[in-house]
Amino acid sequence: MKAEKKKRIVKTIRVDVDKCNGCRACEVVCSAFHASPKYSSNNPERSRIRVIHEPLRDIYVPVYAGEYSAAECAGRDKYTIDGKDYDECAFCRASCPSRPLFTEPDSGLPLKCDVCESDPPLDEPMCVQWCLNDALVYEEREEEVEEEAATREELETGLESLANKYGMQKMLDTVARISKKG
Amino acid sequence: MRFSETGFNLEIDLSTGNVERVETDPGLTELHLGGLGTNARLLWDRVPPDVEPFSPDNLLILSAGLLVGTHAPGANRTIVSTISPQTLFMAYSMMGGFFAPELKHAGYDKVIIRGKSPKLTYLWINNDKVEIRDASHLRGKGACETAELIRRELGEPKAQVAAIGMAGENRVFFASIEHGRSSASRLGIGAVMGDKGLKAIAVRGTKDINIARPAEFMEFCNGVLKYIEVRDKKPVPGVMPILAGLGSPQEMKLIDEEWHTTNFMWGNSRTRRRDFWTKEIEEKWRGTQESVRKRLISCHNCPMKCGATISAPGVSTYMMKCFSKLTYTMAAYSDLDFGFRIAQRATEYGVDAYSAPQVMAFGLELREAGILSEQDMEGMPSDNEGKFYWLLDRIVRREGIGDVLADGTYWAAKRIGKGADAYAHNNIKKHEQLPLKLGMLNPVYFLMYSTGEKSNITQIEGQFPQAPFATKEEREDFVKDWIHVPHERFKQYLLDWEFRGERSNPYYPTVEMSCEIVDWQEMMHYIDDALGMCAGLSSFPLKPPYHVHNYPQIISAAAGIDIDEAALTKITRRNRTLVRAVNNRRGLTRDDERPPEDHWKKRFPELEAKLLDEYYKFKGWNKRGIPTRESLCGLGLDDVAEDLAKRGMLTPEEGVPPPQGSVG
Ligand code: SF4
Ligand code: SF4
Ligand code: SF4
């Protein structure tokens, strides 16, 4: 497929870890927003943002759920910032088999931040709205990008790897459960 | 489906190791909401008055309130209830942080602990899997340290832990349960946990909490956050800084401590230092606070930042909130740096930061007065601060004189004799109070101090200003957006309240007004304690986001029980009356309801008697402070009335059932 120049809105959530007070309101509201019907339940475990916090080491890092990864990385990252050692993978957004982060608690399926996609669209994502401490700030900017639609093949590989990991039946059950709820 | 609550309690018998998940009766939620309300019901039903605090039959209940685990901002309180070793009455203490929401997500509204384990244990609640685990390797460990060790050994960094330190293990009468930045400190709850051989409870939960009417509920939650944002920018003028905003008193944020240090008493609640606060002190304390405070932190789902991570050179990092910053400092006539340092050790030991410093200052007074001898204090260092560390170390181990002092000032004075009781001068119901000594009696505060079942002023005061505003303009300005009053006439009470003259303390607010004002303030606390709402967003600060007018709808939308203001008022009265009945059955009467003799310089015995008489009447209690049959039956507490009558606690007329149809 030929690449085309296209304008698109890049949605950014700026995370200021210094302002985070560890309240987990972002987790609460994200899970409530994605419940179906909307706001009918809450469970931070289903949230697409998790606050990695270790109060005694003064570590507070809100992390957004990114792409699903079928296998864990071969090399791991470990950061030291301002004299504080962060745990392995602390900043990684992937839903990955190496850790229990960003997976649905009952199905084990991966979670991903969708920037609160909804119709009509929200002024600001819910986690940003509920973070009164401005640790999360929403920004939109326009960018010119070379748009390449995901090919069918890529999508299929994605599904296949999910099925490999979780089993086809479990995936189908979850899809059935989600569509029933919706 | 149950809404807003899980519908299950976890029953643990530590004597037999039996663990049971028990479905609760939804009818009880309609009668009591949850939290403190249902805790009181459990204590009434299952802990008869002859059960001693340290009996295996005493229950230790850790309860999440009804709204905990929902999206309601600030609903995160664990309400811990048991029988207090110090007052011998019902103890309840609320702790913030993250424990209660985690418990709800694990699928339980309460953990109810009975029996005693012969070995030190801890509880690991991981959703449906519950284990009683050996804790012998944790004996003597600090409370925060224990939490870290447990998280590590379980490999569960997200587990929330409530633990006791050495004070709880050794049954110090003012031992606390610690949970990170929060604690259930008052009334010796940690001692009961220690007596049961329970070092800690760790919990992890990944289940949903359901909301009955989601869209409506969410609108209220958004409204609460909007209100907080606006209110935050509008501190109440004309009151001291800690009372101007929302949240618990903002001790971690604020540097200006003029009000506390010049109005509260130093030492064993002895000396007022009117000239203490100077520019130099302010600069010095600013330096101390800013250098040790790493970050302001909050509790689960709350935008306020009432706590802080504290890291003073040479001592481990810990978390602090509220007034504990000053209690050690002031008890020792020392400075803030000492306060931050000793509080670290005290937090690891797990002691109540109100009682502990006062008990130590009391011990030193007794030594100075020659009532305690040099031998009693053998080995005590000679420097002032060193004495406090030394005493703290003895108390939590119950070593030597520490064993006596570990019972608190009231019981220690009894054991010591030789006139020591004159030095235990700051107690209500055997429990140490904030170090405040004032001039003129305030009738509202007289009633709150006397009758508050929690024996802690901050757990009953809040909605009505503590003192009149100086000018008419200020008053008019204050009442303008005072939507919180249960009735318009409360505004008039405030508008007419003055510093001097006819309409001033102690005769104004009048007896009738005082009853209403106290009842309103207390009601707000009882609602919060049933819901698990932080008082810092509701009953404690002036003009909070939650109040008696929006609560009924919020509760209805979350829990799907339809209540209006009248119904909520009645539930609250039921809970409040039940707590009183639990205590009456354990011997509480009017004789116990007195503030310290020296709390105010100017006392008015006749007025005080009248205040109590009228307030009791207002509450539906008899002259001895015991609920009448009529009021009990009116609240559907017929079985309680029956029991009190059988025990001869109601006089014959009060014991007679009311004529049909006279109560609603
Ligand atoms: S809502 Fe904001 S302050 Fe609270 S935990 Fe999330 S990022 Fe941190
Ligand atoms: S932007 Fe929306 S979906 Fe993403 S983490 Fe925040 S609340 Fe959740
Ligand atoms: S107001 Fe303060 S104490 Fe209350 S829940 Fe919020 S942070 Fe915690």
What are the helix (H) ranges across B35-78?
A: 35-46
Beta strands in B383-482 (DSSP E): 427-428, 431-432, 438-440
State the pTM of this model.
0.94
Q: Which ligand sits closest to the CA of A114?
A: 2
Q: What pLDDT, on the 0 to 100 scale, is given for residue B323? A: 84
CB B564 within 8 A of CB B550: no
Cα–Cα distances (Å) from B166 to B145, B259, B389, B392, B506, in that order, read 11, 34, 15, 11, 45
B495: number of Cβ within 10 Å: 16
pLDDT band at residue B662, thresholds of 50, 70 and 90?
Answer: very low
3-state secondary structure B266-294: ECCCCECCCCCCCHHHHHHHHHHHHHHEE
Q: How far is B391 from chain A (nearest CA, A)?
A: 27
Span B322-338, average pLDDT: 94
**Lowest-confidence region among A52-56, B325-329, B645-649, B651-655:** B651-655
The reply to whether B487 touches chain A by the CB within 8 Å rule is no
- Positions in chain A whose pLDDT score sits under 70: 1-4, 147-182
A11: number of Cβ within 10 Å: 14
Give the distance (Å) from ligand 1 centre to CA of residue A70: 29
The reply to whether A84 touches chain B by the CB within 8 Å rule is no
The reply to whether B253 touches chain A by the CB within 8 Å rule is no
Q: What pLDDT, on the 0 to 100 scale, is given for residue B627? A: 97
Supply the mean pLDDT for chain B: 96
**Lowest-confidence region among A4-8, B116-120, B441-445:** A4-8
Mutate to test the interface with A, among B208, B220, B222, B227 (most CBs of A within 10 A): B208
Read off the amino acid at residue B486: P
Question: Which residues between 594 and 623 in chain B have a beta carbon less than 8 angstroms from any beta carbon of chain A?
Answer: none
Span B304-317, average pLDDT: 94
Task: Quote the CA–CA distance of A44 and B124 in Å, as a whole number.
Answer: 20
Q: What pLDDT, on the 0 to 100 scale, is given for residue A147? A: 61
Cα–Cα distances (Å) from B329 to B45, B175, B230, B344, in that order, read 43, 19, 35, 13
Q: Is the pLDDT of residue B394 over 90?
A: yes
- A127 touches ligand 2 (CB under 6 Å): yes
Residues on chain B touching A130 (C-beta within 8 angstroms): 225
Provide the residue ranges of all domains of chain A, joining segments of one domain with +. 4-149, 152-182
Task: Quote the CA–CA distance of A123 and B571 in Å, as a whole number.
Answer: 40
Q: Delineate the domains of chain B, giving CATH numbers in brackets.
A: 8-204 (3.60.9.10), 235-354 (1.10.569.10), 369-432 (no CATH), 438-655 (1.10.599.10)
